[in-house]
Chain A
Amino acid sequence: KAGVTQTPRYLIKTRGQQVTLSCSPISGHRSVSWYQQTPGQGLQFLFEYFSETQRNKGNFPGRFSGRQFSNSRSEMNVSTLELGDSALYLCASSRGQGTGELFFGEGSRLTVL
């Protein structure tokens, strides 16, 4: 069974640009949640999608958005990039039944110059 796949693995952007990250969940998993990981703040929850609907959202500005497609694949977008957006972005998939194990991808490492 294939694991959670995130693309791209590494990317470099400049301030003001936008970026789109992709996450393909484990087959059969309907929930995808996104996290920002930085050395100082740990793992911070961005949002969670289930059956193409956002079920929950963390405390991030509106520049951070996401969506989920009918095949459960998810994308997140960050517009007007700031230096502080440099981080490892992790997605996790799960069955979506609430209080279930999250399976993480390897992450997309974003550097903003």
Chain B
Amino acid sequence: GENVEQHPSTLSVQEGDSAVIKCTYSDSASNYFPWYKQELGKRPQLIIDIRSNVGEKKDQRIAVTLNKTAKHFSLHITETQPEDSAVYFCAKPGYSGGGADGLTFGKGTHLIIQP
């Protein structure tokens, strides 16, 4: 199918520690894997994405890794801060062909940063 499995559903970490969220998918055609962050009461916003021709991408404290063979990709947040508290969604294209922009999202991970 076209689903994306995301784990864990809730993740609580101490401020300053690292957080890792993992997603798995089943189809082989997907070539784009974004992560969205949704703060309470706000709209989802893209924080990082990766395309299938690379295995890792970093942007300051966040990074995404992709293993196309195993069909999983992960979000890594280092040195977590209170403002990192939010729901994080992984996603992949929801189509089997090309050209469309609709995404299939994971069910989300509620990240809680403990002071």
Which residues of A are interface residues toward B (Cβ below 8 A)? 31, 33, 35, 41-45, 47-48, 50, 55-56, 58, 90, 94-102, 104-107
B residues adjacent to A (C-beta < 8 A): 31-32, 34, 36, 42-46, 49, 51, 89, 93-95, 98-108
Question: A107 touches which one: B43, B94, B103, B107 (CB < 8 A)?
Answer: B43
Across chains A and B, the number of contacting residue pairs, with CB separation under 8 Å, is 75
Contacts of A102 on B, CB cut-off 8 Å?
A: 34, 36, 44, 46, 101, 103
C-alpha gap A43/B6 in the complex (Å): 12
**The one of A95, A97, A99 that contacts B93, using a Cβ cutoff of 8 Å:** A99
Asked whether B103 lies within 8 Å of A33 as measured between CB atoms, the reply is: yes
Contact B89 A100 (CB under 8 A): no
Contacting residues, chain A, for B36 (C-beta < 8 A)? 102
B108 A100 Cβ-Cβ under 8 A: no
Q: Whose C-beta in chain A lies nearest to the C-beta of B30?
A: A99
**Chain B residues with CB under 8 A of A100:** 101
